[in-house]
Amino acid sequence: MLHLPDYGLSEYPIHQGFAEMQKKFVDDLKTVIERFEPRVSSLIIEGITNDTRNGVLQVSIQADLKVMEAINFQAQLLKNGEIRIMGDI
């Protein structure tokens, strides 16, 4: 399936070039959130771990929401496609 750039994130080959994929994912995720979530400002996304052995990418997301107080959480993207959210959201 081809990726349609106006419809969110593309698929990322987690097993190839993990460090490069992590940077591209973080950049793409920031772009998608800024494009599709108008309530978010002061968005900071950082790749904080990359467990190549287990195929886990963990990112930290910090932002201000116009309708709430600031949020801060971490997400782990697992090689089976599962996403684990940790922190207060």
Q: What is the pLDDT of residue 76?
A: 81
Report, as an integer, the average pLDDT of 52-74: 79
Longest Cα–Cα distance in the chain: 39
What does the alpha-carbon distance between residue 6 and residue 2 come to, in Å, rounded to a whole number? 12
- Report the share of the chain in percent with pLDDT over 70: 78
Q: What is the DSSP letter of 4?
A: -
Residue, of 74 and 53, whose pLDDT is higher: 74
Report, as an integer, the average pLDDT of 11-33: 78
Residue ranges per domain, the chain? 40-89
Q: What is the pLDDT of residue 39?
A: 86
Residue, of 81 and 40, whose pLDDT is higher: 40
